[in-house]
Amino acid sequence: MDAALRHIDDGHGLWRYADLIEVRCPRCARPGRVRAPYEDGRRQIRFACAGCGLHAASESRCGTPEAQHDWFGPVRLQGRRPCGYCGHQWLIVNRIYQHMPASAPPRLAARCPICARDSQVDTTVHRHRGNEPRDPHLGLPLRLIEPTRHGVAWAYNAQHLQELRRYVAATQRERTRQAGNGSMISRLPAWMKLARHRTTVLKALDRLGARLLQDDAAEAPPITAERGRTARRQR
């Protein structure tokens, strides 16, 4: 079989592609990049929009919560407590907001299913990543998103897009013994893995690649006469 149509899943996860993520600014929708290099057990996460000047940052260490964080995605308010009247356990609050509230309520009311009385439940705010195609660091919307009749195809960046295309195009798919069941490939939705969807998915991925090239060309600074003369002198 043609080696170009063979794909081997070596077990790497989606985080392999998380150092640079193609996004759109939540304020002006201009293309941009979240840069999140991983060094010495930490990520220094930065985003700066060249259009409207929006800046966002986050810092995280392996195994510890973010020391500093901006977040533009959905949030979840959670909390639980026994009923303040009959003692029933547990009264649970679990609400999702599409954006961080301007003033997150420190407590919310929960109705007891036994005595039908409300008690105030202390809440904490958590980032909610869910299944939406968003940047995992800052919650910004991805710009490499393409709907199909089977589902939504998306990618973090060109490298991620290339790996998806290699897998979808392959007619022989293998997995190393060490790969396990937590790799990026194993977590793809079932519709992307079906041979009968190959043509549709490849066309969607190709449209994403063309869009990325088009956006990059539009963002590149124009070549002026002065720049051209400078380039010729440097030769």
Give me the helix-helix angle, 198-219 and 158-169, nearest 10°: 160
Between residues 110 and 226, the one the model is more confident about: 110
Nearest to 15 by CA among 129, 169, 166: 129
Distance from C-alpha of 58 to C-alpha of 38, rounded to nearest angstrom: 12
Instruction: Calculate the average pLDDT of the chain.
Output: 88
Kindly list the domain boundaries of the chain, sorted by start residue: 3-72+132-219, 75-127
Q: What is the pLDDT of residues 21-32, one digit of tens each?
A: 999 999 999 999
Q: What is the pLDDT of residues 113-154, one digit of tens each?
A: 999 999 999 999 999 988 889 999 999 999 999 999 999 999
Q: What is the pLDDT of residues 162-188, one digit of tens each?
A: 999 999 999 999 988 787 788 999 999
Give residue 2's identity as a one-letter amino acid code: D
Cis ω before 90 (30° cut-off from 0): yes
Distance from C-alpha of 144 to C-alpha of 142, rounded to nearest angstrom: 6
| Single pTM value for the model | 0.83
